[in-house]
Amino acid sequence: MTSQAYEVALFADFFAQDLPAILNRFTLHSESAHRMHAREVVFEPFDAQNQRDAGTEPVLLRARRELLDPDSQWVLYSYLKPESVRVHPEATVRPWATCQIAGDALTFASALGYMQVRSISAHRRSQIYKRGYVFRRGSLVIQMFQQEHADPKTGKPMPAHVDTLWEVEVKTAAPVRNTQQTPLSRSLDAVLEVQLLMKGLLDLRRQDV
């Protein structure tokens, strides 16, 4: 029997005027850094509305692809509900499954019984683009980005407004299994160390997403 795999994460956002100072501090305390421009497409089960009507929140699938790397493949991933704040008050800990997709992610998701989310509400966009920076620090990946929305006619990303908030995600780069060799406490310590490094510049916090 295999143990559940988790992601451990902290989140924050900040105004564009603070970008230079935050960018410099992340760069100083990271092993590598590069630009990112990713496309993310959200899928829900074909019977998602029936599940909601029955009082169950459907499990969403997300497909992600890095646009700056012409050879990059789609990555399909999904999260379950975060662990209780009583169990992990310091950071978001949520079950996480991921796999690489060779070929068309939309076709693959459809074969699994999923379709692209059709809602265009502010909280449930079917497609977004993220442009910014990625930092690596040990077992963690730090993403710092602005969201770009897709043009409803062309599907292409539209540049973010100059005042668009920057978002930060500090998280484990790969799913972590809570074992004696890889205890969750080690990942929690790693993200909390980044929280401490950014104190005074960035308010990294737990977030139920």
Handedness of CA 197, 88, 4, 102 (dihedral sign): negative
Residue 65's DSSP bridge partners are 39
Q: Check pLDDT > 80 for residue 120.
A: no
Are the beta carbons of 171 and 139 closer than 8 angstroms?
Answer: no
Contact 8, 188 (CB under 8 A): yes
Q: What is the mean pLDDT of the chain?
A: 91
d(CA 65, CA 52): 29
Kindly state the tokens that stand for 61: 């699938």
pLDDT digits (tens, 9 = 90+) for 99-114: 888 888 888 888 899 9
Core vs surface per residue 27-62: b (16+ CB within 10 A) or e: eeebeebeebebbbbbbbbeebeeeeeeeeebbbbb
pLDDT band at 209 (very low <50, low <70, confident <90, very high): low
Q: Ranked by mean pLDDT, which of 16-20, 60-64, 78-82 comes out on top?
A: 16-20
pLDDT at 69: 92
Q: How many CB atoms lie within 10 A of CB 152?
A: 8
Please tell me which residue, 169 or 121, carries the higher pLDDT value.
169
According to the CATH classification, is domain 5-197 in 2.40.320.10? Answer: yes
Which range, of 98-107, 165-174, 175-184, 195-204, averages the lowest pLDDT?
98-107
Structure confidence at residue 125 (pLDDT): 67
pLDDT over 50 (residue 122): no
The number of residues in the chain equals 209
Position 123 scores a pLDDT of 46
Residue listed under structure tokens 């310091």:
90
Percent of the chain with pLDDT over 90: 68
Q: How far is C-alpha 55 from the geometric centre of its chain's CA atoms?
A: 26
- State the average pLDDT over residues 31-42: 95
pLDDT of residue 1: 39
**Residue pair 113/45 in contact by the 8 Å Cβ criterion:** yes
Check residue 119 and give its pLDDT. Answer: 58
By the 8 A CB rule, do 195 and 169 touch?
no
Neighbours of 19 (CB within 10 A): 15
- Specify the pLDDT at position 180: 87
User: For the residues 184-193, what does the mean pLDDT come to?
Assistant: 96
Distance, CA of 94 to chain centre: 12
Written as one string, the DSSP assignment of 47-97 is THHHHHHTT-PPPPEEEEEESS-TT--EEEEEE-PPPPTTT-SSSEEEEEE
Lowest mean pLDDT across 108-122, 135-149, 173-187: 108-122
Q: Determine which of 15-24, 74-83, 135-144, 166-175 has the lowest per-residue pLDDT on average.
A: 74-83
